[in-house]
Structure 1
Amino acid sequence: MTKEMQSYSAEFEVESVKKIADNSGNLSVTTRQLRIMMQTLSNWQNKTSQGKLVGIENTILNLWQLLNESSNSNEVKDS
């Protein structure tokens, strides 16, 4: 029997890492509360410290920047 791999949203990953601070840095308590594996949360924490795990806020900001750049380049072409 193979186990199906669980996938999580980026927002859940970011919120989970933030929850570690709410639990005074205790990964064990946090993983029990969230019902996820300790290694999973540890991986997310490492990604966060390396700047590789970004929340939904950054994604939305990047999309707005791309839209603004696109509309600005279209304005120049129309002139």
Structure 2
Amino acid sequence: MAETRRRFDREFREGAVRIVRETGKPIAQVARDLGINDGTLANWVAQDRRARGEAAAGGLGEDERAELARLRKENAKLAMERDVLKQSAVRFGNTNRRRRRLVDAAWKRIESGRRSNVASGN
């Protein structure tokens, strides 16, 4: 027959975690004293540490994870805007270069016509 799963109220969980945190006793010992599975208590302690931002070396607290997610979203948006601007600069830049070449060619023709008029005495 299957065992029914025990449920622990929030007060009990917080008290158990506080005992581990404040006394410095090993999780297994505190779990044994309270009559609960040490894995269960370890999960509660880990969750409390994450919530308090006391994550293991290199880990992030909940606030830091939320900020990281926000910054990644903002970074993706800015990268997309940059790519759009790059593409438009390439498209419009090529058009401007063609226009510039046409204008330069027209000025050369005008200048060469002026020079020939000046040389011929007109």
Q: Tell me if TM exceeds 0.5.
A: yes
Matches within 5 A, 1:1-79: 1-51=1-51
Cα deviations by residue, 1:8-65 (Å, 9 ceiling, x for unpaired): 011110100011135423111101110000010001001101218xxxxxxxxxxxxx
Percent identity, aligned pairs only, is: 21
TM-score using structure 1 length: 0.59
TM-score using structure 2 length: 0.39
- The gaps in structure 1 that reach 5 residues or longer are 53-79
Structure ID, larger Rg: 2
Equivalent in the alignment of 2:71: none
Task: Name the aligned partner's letter for residue 21 of structure 2.
Answer: A
RMSD: 1.7
Higher helix content, 1 or 2: 2
> Runs ≥4 in structure 1, deviation > 6 angstroms?
none
- The gaps in structure 2 that reach 5 residues or longer are 53-122
